[in-house]
Amino acid sequence: MRCREPAIRATFTPRRRIPGGEIGLAWHHARRGDRTIAWHNGMTGGFSAMVALDLARGFGVAALANTAGAPPSPLDRAVLSAFGS
């Protein structure tokens, strides 16, 4: 993990196992191949957002949409697909 600040690093540290992975302080963790991807999404008022980070490689993807639907949304799937399987 490249985060140097202890407070930032703590937000990404897995705290609990949940269906489909783990969660830190608001950051979900999903496996993509041999990598762990930290991600968070949200929807409000018909809009949606998704941010996903590969902390080990220093790579991230963020996307916004002017639509929202039932999770997992097409936006979520599109962002996570950028990291491969």
| Per-residue pLDDT tens digits for 17-75 | 888 788 888 888 888 888 889 999 998 888 999 999 998 888 999 999 998 877 778 88
Rounded distance between C-alpha atoms, residue 64 and residue 52, angstroms: 12
pTM of the model: 0.77
Residue 85's pLDDT is 61
Token readout for 83 is: 């990291």
E strands, the chain, are: 16-18, 21-23, 28-32, 35-44, 47-54, 59-65
